[in-house]
Structure 1
Amino acid sequence: MPLDVAAVTSVVSQFKDPETGRPALPMQQIRDIVVSGSKVSLTLALTTHSAAIKNEVAENLKDLVRAQLPEATDVHVNLAIHERPPVAIGTIALKAKSVIAVGSGKGGVGKSTIAASIALGLARAGSKVGLMDADVYGPSIPQLLGLDGKLEPVDGKIKPIYSGSIPVVSMGFLVPKGEAVVWRGPMLHGAITQFLRDVNWGDLDYLIIDMPPGTGDIALTLSQLLPLTGSVVVCTPQEVALLDAVKAIAMFRKVNIPVLGMVENMSGFICPDTMKRWDIFGHGGARTKAEELSVPFLGEVPLNMQIRIAGDDGKTLGNFDDPIVAPYLSKIVATMVRNLASAAAVKPPVMQLPVLG
């Protein structure tokens, strides 16, 4: 096959957009194909939903061209942003492409830290992210992000508090510090509904929801209000925590919320002086349990003093600059987005078109 624009076009014609799982070429996400001798250059435009894996998607496209066209010894892919705004989903007209609940079977496993880190990691990569603290009895997201203030209505909508580019909503912005929330199920349902329906979230690639620990009825409320993309279950390596994590997975499955994966937190202490690892709470339990339950394993996070210090200081974002912690957090974010792309490639989601007025 001669190396020309037609040949390259033929090869890339079935390369899939990671967000939709559909061929990118017909959607003009692959364009500007230029061939000069053995050199090939083209533009790959991805939505910000795929920002966390954009470089590896570009490498995959390069590998495809090289494999199918050996004459192309120099392949260059220019990355660009493809605009595809979300459409309203659910009964509350939330505009988010993916809604992900982060839960745990028990408290004290670092669920909120992982939820905040996933949101921060996605936003740091370039995605449009919102973070909703649905842990109404123990809202810790404001502390982890160093946020303060009150939620106020603006133009008929509730204005969230921002952490950088991330709109954040939490019961911690409504209740004075130290005051307990003593609510029954209907009041919880009303609060969660209001957080989703009445907050000016804007257009989001991801809404990350920090769930309460355990298997309460907030998951049921969420499943009734909107179609959740899936859930992430956080646990620690020891058996007693894994038993509760299994219950959380069963809860999500019972309300038809797919489980996107498990995260093993406090997965071992790495001494910063010697870099020797000490598995204080054990190691690998979550990975083994994930395999048993046919659930993806997203990664592990070490037991690290920097994470605790950053959380206490409201500077959780700083963990992404820590040489020990950052690679683990970044891997979890990328693996989750990669798994979403793989699922979309196997079963492309139904594409909804915005209603034109």
Structure 2
Amino acid sequence: MTGVDLRAVRAALHGVLDPELRRPIDELGMLADVTADSGLVTVRVLLTIAGCPLRSTIDADVRAALTGVPGVDAVAVELDVMSPQQRQELRERLRPERGIPFSRPDSLTKVFAVASGKGGVGKSSVTVNLACELASRGLRVGIVDADVHGFSVPALIGATGTPTRVDEMILPPVAHGVKVISIGMFVARNQPVAWRGPMLHRALEQFLADVYFGDLDVLFLDLPPGTGDVAISVSQLLPSAQLLVVTTPQAAAADVAERAGTVSAQTGQTVAGVIENMSGLTLPDGTVMEVFGTGGGQRVADRLSASLGVPVELLGTVPLDVALREGGDAGTPIVLSSPSSPAAVALKAVADRLATQPRGLAGRSLGVTPVG
């Protein structure tokens, strides 16, 4: 008698998740063996690749999971590596079909393409804050940084990890509970990416098809400004994606933002709403300085409603806030670093609006058949 119930040990280990795949290690075939000898439990775990960057995390999580299990006095963790056959079985288990999972008719993931007419309106900051806020509520969230030439998402969200490649499958780093992929993770710091249309399309296609995000509730795409190659590629690769149009109150920004939303009439996409960023700056005496004017977001929403023939709402106005910039510089978005600040409160209100939009079931098979 060892005094250790191996069933209790395995039950505890079921709670250990692979840090990249976010699935229990026993479901992934990573839990190779568990033995017990007089209170010493030895756990053999198979890593996906030899140079797994999170091997120490897995080791620590296994030890932590077995703390408190009756009869367990010590834990030994042996880390081995999957064979090519085991990796093949893992890929087939995770993704039995090739292609872009978010474009399939049975996909329940809400896809938001965050667009703007011009640069400098804070589109990327809005994207990462909305993603982190929804993730903090328990939703499964991912971000594709589709702005290949002007990528900034990794720095804004503090994603310092490197994607892990398991043969043809790429595992995205996770930051603040959000899975993130960006071309910035594949190039040296500040190295420019000088690609034309076909290369941009292929990069976006690979991010959507080869990166394993798992079953997401929400996927955000941070688009480059304007209505160029990437916006067209998104409409082709993800025709069900909804546009979130970001503008500032300034009239000039509102004019070009309207174009970013009107393109949906040509692509067949819908506009989920408009977000006005940098709406005003509260001074120490309590007065508000309208640095970029007022009303741009509502003007965009009204014009899009008229041109598209469907109601387009202004989802929220986000004030200028020093904490918003500080959070981005530190890689900790303001909804996490300063949740009670005016900008964070406004962003949380926008997240409320997005979270209440249900994952659509129209036209999807429920997998049931009549009896009798």
Cα pair 1:90 1:227 within 8 Å, conserved: no
Superposed displacement of residue 155, structure 1: 5.1
Superposed displacement of residue 88, structure 1: 10
Superposed displacement of residue 307, structure 1: 0.6
The alignment status of 1:299 with 2:309, answered yes or no, reads no
Q: 2:328 maps to what in 1?
A: 311
Cα pair 1:99 1:208 within 8 Å, conserved: yes
* Residues 268, 297 of structure 1: alpha-carbon distance in 2 compared, 3 angstrom cutoff: same
- The separation in 2 between residues aligned to 1:332 and 1:120, in whole angstroms, is 12
Q: 2:299 maps to what in 1?
A: 288
Helix, strand or coil at the partner of 1:269: strand
Calculate percent identity across the aligned residue pairs.
Answer: 40
Q: 2:246 maps to what in 1?
A: 234
TM-score by structure 2 length?
Answer: 0.66
Give every structure 1 segment of 4 or more consecutive aligned residues whose post-TM-superposition deviation is greater than 6 Å.
Answer: 87-90
Flag the structure with more relative contact order, 1 or 2, with Cα contacts below 8 A and sequence separation at least 6. Answer: 1
Q: 1:276 maps to what in 2?
A: 287
* Residues 185, 334 of structure 1: alpha-carbon distance in 2 compared, 3 angstrom cutoff: same
Q: How does 1:258-269 map to 2 (within 5 A)?
A: 258-269=270-281
- The separation in 2 between residues aligned to 1:353 and 1:173, in whole angstroms, is 38
Superposed displacement of residue 285, structure 1: 1.8
Q: How does 1:146-295 map to 2 (within 5 A)?
A: 146-154=158-166, 156-271=168-283, 273-294=284-305, 295=312
CA offsets, 1:188-214, max 9 Å, x none?
A: 111000000000101100111100111
TM-score by structure 1 length?
Answer: 0.69
Superposed displacement of residue 325, structure 1: 2.2
The unaligned stretches of length 5 or more in structure 1 are 1-86
- Return 193-202 or 119-128, whichever deviates more: 119-128
* Residues 282, 158 of structure 1: alpha-carbon distance in 2 compared, 3 angstrom cutoff: same
* Residues 266, 320 of structure 1: alpha-carbon distance in 2 compared, 3 angstrom cutoff: same
How well do the aligned residues superpose, as a CA RMSD in angstroms?
2.5
The alignment status of 1:329 with 2:347, answered yes or no, reads yes
Which amino acid letter does the alignment assign opposite residue 92 of structure 1?
Answer: I
Helix, strand or coil at the partner of 1:186: helix
Which amino acid letter does the alignment assign opposite residue 351 of structure 1?
Answer: R
The unaligned stretches of length 5 or more in structure 2 are 1-94, 306-311
Cα pair 2:114 2:222 within 8 Å, conserved: yes
Aligned residues: 264
Cα pair 1:91 1:226 within 8 Å, conserved: no
Superposed displacement of residue 150, structure 1: 2.6
Cα pair 1:253 1:259 within 8 Å, conserved: no
